[in-house]
Structure 1
Amino acid sequence: MANQRSNIGMPLEANNASERVTAAGSELQDTSIHEPLQQEKSSTKICKHNRGWRRIVRNFTPSWFAVCMGTGIVSILLHNLPYNGDWLYYLSVIVFCLNVGLFVSFLIISVLRYTLYPELWWAMIRHPAQSLFLGTFPMALGTIVQMIVFVCVPAWGDRFVQLAWALWWIDVALSLACCFYMPFVIMYIHQATLKTMTAIWLLPIVAPIVASASGGIVASVLSNPQHALWTVIVSYILWGTGVPLAMCVLVIYFQRLTLHALPPREVIVSVFLPIGPLGQGGFAIMQLGKVAMELFPITHTLSLEAAGSSVNAGQLLYVIGWLVATVLWGFGLVWLFFAAASITRSRFPFNMGWWGFTFPLGVFATSTTQMAKELPSLFFKVLGTIFSVAVVLLWIMVAIGTFRRAVTGEIFFAPCLKDLEGKKDQAENNCPEELTV
């Protein structure tokens, strides 16, 4: 009986084993069928977003606003060139219109990018380099505000004064947001080390300095003295938030250069960025002092009449501003030498970082020409002209290189997008069961 029972049980176990093998085989077959289908769907989705206008939108990073910064400073230099003429004025207007067109286009593309692909916003914020380029947006807007005062206000009057003032307040809010939040992101989110640190850290910090310079220019055309006074006071505060913090970063950056040598050749152009806060800070403090000298007696701000002094507080700010600007200009010469010596060490490839040539050198040129006006000095007048012409030539060279690579599409590359796709692939590998859902 026992033998009979075992003989009966054996085929049952064999049948069960056979069924399990068959089921396992069918699962493997189903998996082998689903995997290529899933891979095909994934590749189709990737190809869809990497063709045509979608590819441009997905790979459009905040660093593109550096193009507007460079174009904007060129329009300002052409307008304020010491040896000027009518043809330079019209040329500055053309470049200004080009800059406005680029800024609006880039803004629309950026809104599309983060609307269609909201996950790219956080990927960009967490990227140690691309997130810092958010500071280029308010700086680009600042150049437009300045040119509105230089070109539109003389041509069309008070309504453009109000437009410039309104845009300036927007610029102030964006600049402070970048200056306060992005350094905290470096501390809290990014895993920064001294060796990997670059001068790109300065980008969000320079934004309020540019807004300060724009505020000094806007205040000079405001008809309401109280509005002008508040604009000057806020501009001084902006200068105080940006310049000291930039000095802190410059100390860290100098230590990085001395201990870990020059940056890699792909980002070697960033060595020009330290010139930016020094040049723009000098121009801003001179412009604010000049406006304060005329405005403070009208508004009776910090009046010294009670002390029996014939000197008003605005005149003191004007003299102190010129002195501080001269010190910053001299410090800028040191960094200009470091930058020029660095780029001669080796050849470096063209990329969007080349726009780091234009704006820092451009604001250093504006500081030089402003010193020429205030002294007055023939030496600074000639030197400012040389700097301005050099910046215009650099802008033409970089613009041509950017246009050529934009036509071929090779310049549209977002490092944060590559990191995001890598994280998605890793998540799919860790959770393969989600692929068959």
Structure 2
Amino acid sequence: MTHPPMFHQVTSIVQETQQVTDQKEMPTAEIPETVERSKHDVGWRKVVRNFTPAWFSVNMGTGIVSVLLNTLPYNGQWLYYISIIIFILNVAYFTVFLAITLLRYILYPEIFRVMATHPVQSLFLGTFPMGLATMINMFCFVCVSRWGDGAAYFIWAVWVFDAVVSVLVAMGIPFLLTTRKNGLDLSSMTAAWLLPIVSCVVAAASGSIVADVLTDAQLALATILASYILWGIGVPLAMMVICIYLQRLMFYKLPPEAMLVSVFLPLGPLGQGSFGIQKLGISAQTIFPKTSTLSVSTGAIFYSVGFLIGILLWAFGVVWLSFAVATSIKSRKFPFNMGWWALTFPLGVFTASTCTIGQELPSRFFSVLGTVNFCFRSSNDRY
């Protein structure tokens, strides 16, 4: 049997290929009995062919749960063990998703080009490095202290890979979207535009955690400086997109019901940007004096400025959290879809930022608020 051209297989990234037949005009007796479905439209090949990068958002949501359970200010031994269980589950998810993704592009290499230039599916490429970053963080918290320096250098190498992919995605996807033949309409914009950009902010925050477990001070310094660069790439660009998204909301009102939860996405760069710049300042305060970087007081300056920027970004996040909660209350019900993971990760990183502020001040108010935010996020997940 002659298979349909590969082009028709490629376009199934958006919707499954449908065979156009004129059965209404053709009498039943005249319908050929030899019509068969392509092997690419059934079984495991259909699953592989239609597997999109959006599935890595599951790693983002699951990963941030394990991180928060491990680092909450009001914690317990039982929460620690639960965080490890969820971490192992997240690694299993990621392994399966990565295997299917590699198989997809090996069997159907043309799909990658179409996916990378698609105005929606390409945005979810950022979920891959962000999902990986949550596992890097947990590996640093749980495994390095038990497995030693070898584990620290291993996870540093993984972080380098994650950072490179984040930069490629954050710079490449916006450029591809600007060079598309068919222009984009502002009314069709969603906060998903932030996904490829936020990957750099997440990698920057992970870099500060990786630097803390490295015994080589010079390598830790290089990691911190690279993380500041990643933060500088991601946060300003995310701010631009947030401004455009606010304009879209003002002119064209709320997005469709299926995309309503995307209004929580601006919490991602704001919460993770706040958390990242604070953690980088904490790391700089320790590493800079060890490596005689700039002046003696530079580390303390970076720490203080990082906290200031962090609390300002956190305050801006409160504004978007208010918008998102008000939108949810107004809309009341909206259908469940993959976009719901957009609710989990931004609220999680905003909670992490809140808890970090509480630890550094120190402030019981922010510590309690961070724990309450985590409970609010968990209740939304169950809903």
Once the 2 structures are TM-superposed, how far is the Cα of residue 390 of structure 1 from its aligned partner?
2.4
Once the 2 structures are TM-superposed, how far is the Cα of residue 147 of structure 1 from its aligned partner?
0.4
Match of 2:107 among 100, 110, 116: 116
Structure 1's consecutive aligned runs of 4 or more residues displaced over 6 angstroms after TM superposition are none
SS in 1 for 2:184: coil
Match of 1:366 among 352, 358, 383: 352
Aligned to 2:229: 237
Aligned pair count reads: 352
1:44 is matched by which residue type in structure 2?
R
Q: Does 1:301 align with 2:293?
A: yes
Match of 2:122 among 123, 128, 131: 131
Aligned to 1:6: none
Aligned to 1:329: 314
User: Percent of pairs identical after alignment?
Assistant: 54
1:322 is matched by which residue type in structure 2?
F
Let me know the Cα RMSD of the aligned residues: 1.5
Once the 2 structures are TM-superposed, how far is the Cα of residue 36 of structure 1 from its aligned partner?
6.7
Contact 1:206/1:277 (<8 A) preserved: yes
Q: Structure 1, residues 387-435: CA drift from partner, whole Å, max 9, x if none?
A: 11222343455xxxxxxxxxxxxxxxxxxxxxxxxxxxxxxxxxxxxxx
SS in 1 for 2:270: helix
Once the 2 structures are TM-superposed, how far is the Cα of residue 344 of structure 1 from its aligned partner?
2.2
Structure 1 residues not aligned, in runs of 5+: 1-34, 305-311, 398-437
**Distance in 1 of aligned mates of 2:46 and 2:329:** 35
Contact 1:362/1:388 (<8 A) preserved: yes
Once the 2 structures are TM-superposed, how far is the Cα of residue 119 of structure 1 from its aligned partner?
2.5
**Distance in 1 of aligned mates of 2:285 and 2:88:** 33
Relative to structure 1, the CA distance from residue 151 to residue 396 in structure 2 (aligned partners, 3 Å threshold; closer, same or farther) is farther
Contact 1:49/1:55 (<8 A) preserved: yes
Q: Does 1:221 align with 2:207?
A: no
SS in 2 for 1:44: coil
**Distance in 2 of aligned mates of 1:396 and 1:222:** 37
Rg larger for: 1
**Distance in 2 of aligned mates of 1:394 and 1:54:** 34
Relative to structure 1, the CA distance from residue 155 to residue 395 in structure 2 (aligned partners, 3 Å threshold; closer, same or farther) is farther
Contact 1:74/1:395 (<8 A) preserved: no
Contact 1:182/1:204 (<8 A) preserved: yes
Aligned to 2:264: 272
SS in 1 for 2:187: coil
**Distance in 1 of aligned mates of 2:204 and 2:163:** 8
Aligned to 1:391: 377
Mean Cα deviation higher: 353-362 or 109-118: 109-118
Counterparts of 1:160-175 in structure 2 under 5 Å? 160-175=151-166
Q: Does 1:351 align with 2:351?
A: no
Contact 1:71/1:395 (<8 A) preserved: no
Relative to structure 1, the CA distance from residue 40 to residue 344 in structure 2 (aligned partners, 3 Å threshold; closer, same or farther) is farther
1:209 is matched by which residue type in structure 2?
V
Counterparts of 1:285-300 in structure 2 under 5 Å? 285-300=277-292
Mean Cα deviation higher: 122-131 or 267-276: 122-131
2:128 is matched by which residue type in structure 1?
F
SS in 2 for 1:125: helix
SS in 1 for 2:188: coil
Aligned to 2:22: none
Structure 2 residues not aligned, in runs of 5+: 1-29
Counterparts of 1:248-259 in structure 2 under 5 Å? 248-259=240-251
Aligned to 1:44: 37
**Distance in 2 of aligned mates of 1:155 and 1:84:** 20
Once the 2 structures are TM-superposed, how far is the Cα of residue 345 of structure 1 from its aligned partner?
2.4
Mean Cα deviation higher: 150-159 or 263-272: 150-159
Mean Cα deviation higher: 223-232 or 334-343: 334-343
Contact 1:70/1:395 (<8 A) preserved: no
Aligned to 1:375: 361
Match of 2:49 among 55, 58, 72: 58
**Distance in 2 of aligned mates of 1:40 and 1:320:** 72
SS in 1 for 2:330: coil
2:355 is matched by which residue type in structure 1?
T
Q: Structure 1, residues 340-371: CA drift from partner, whole Å, max 9, x if none?
A: 11122222111100111100000000000000
Q: Structure 1, residues 148-172: CA drift from partner, whole Å, max 9, x if none?
A: 0000012222121112101000001
Contact 2:125/2:169 (<8 A) preserved: yes
Aligned to 1:73: 64
2:302 is matched by which residue type in structure 1?
L
**Distance in 1 of aligned mates of 2:74 and 2:288:** 32
Q: Structure 1, residues 6-37: CA drift from partner, whole Å, max 9, x if none?
A: xxxxxxxxxxxxxxxxxxxxxxxxxxxxx976
Aligned to 2:174: 183
Larger % of helix: which? 1
Q: Structure 1, residues 18-67: CA drift from partner, whole Å, max 9, x if none?
A: xxxxxxxxxxxxxxxxx976x955x521xx32322222212211000000
Contact 2:117/2:177 (<8 A) preserved: no
**Distance in 2 of aligned mates of 1:182 and 1:287:** 28
1:296 is matched by which residue type in structure 2?
F
Q: TM-score of the superposition, structure 1-length normalised?
A: 0.78
Aligned to 2:94: 103
SS in 1 for 2:230: helix
Q: Does 1:314 align with 2:299?
A: yes
Structure showing greater relative contact order (alpha-carbon pairs closer than 8 Å, 6 or more residues apart): 1
